[in-house]
Amino acid sequence: MTDLQKYVDLTVEVITSDGRIIVGTLKGFDQTTNVILAGCHERIFSETEGVERVPLGLYIIRGDNICLIGELDQERDASIDLTEIRAAPITDISRR
């Protein structure tokens, strides 16, 4: 849990167990790894269209729904043209 402390106020990417990819600024977390993200958006991938960016604003994600959380390199991320990315969405791991 204390490992998340170093990411507070940084931009992170969260992958949830239902396959969602959410990007935002980590504002807080608790002992069960529930996280609070500010200014966040979801990235929806498609095999036929570019990545769709859906604004979410302030968002809370339950810790038991988080598969992965890590710092996002904003400079590298800004250099990627997401409208040109085609990829299958991540599958829901909670149903396997």
pLDDT of amino acid 89: 86
Beta strands in 5-95 (DSSP E): 11-16, 21-29, 35-44, 52-61, 66-71
Residue closest to 71 by CA, chosen among 35, 30, 25: 25
Please, which pLDDT band fits residue 25 given cuts at 50, 70 and 90?
A: very high
For the domain covering 2-80, report its CATH number: 2.30.30.100
Q: In terms of Cα–Cα distance, which of 49, 50, 53, 19 is closest to 39?
A: 53
- Whether the per-residue pLDDT at 94 is higher than 70: the answer is no
> What's the confidence (pLDDT) of residue 68?
94
Q: How confident is the model at residue 13 (pLDDT cuts 50, 70, 90)?
A: very high
Domain residues of the chain, as ranges?
Answer: 2-80
pLDDT, tens only, 68-81: 999 999 999 999 99
Question: Is the pLDDT assigned to residue 26 strictly greater than 90?
Answer: yes
pLDDT in tens, 42-63: 999 999 999 999 999 999 999 9
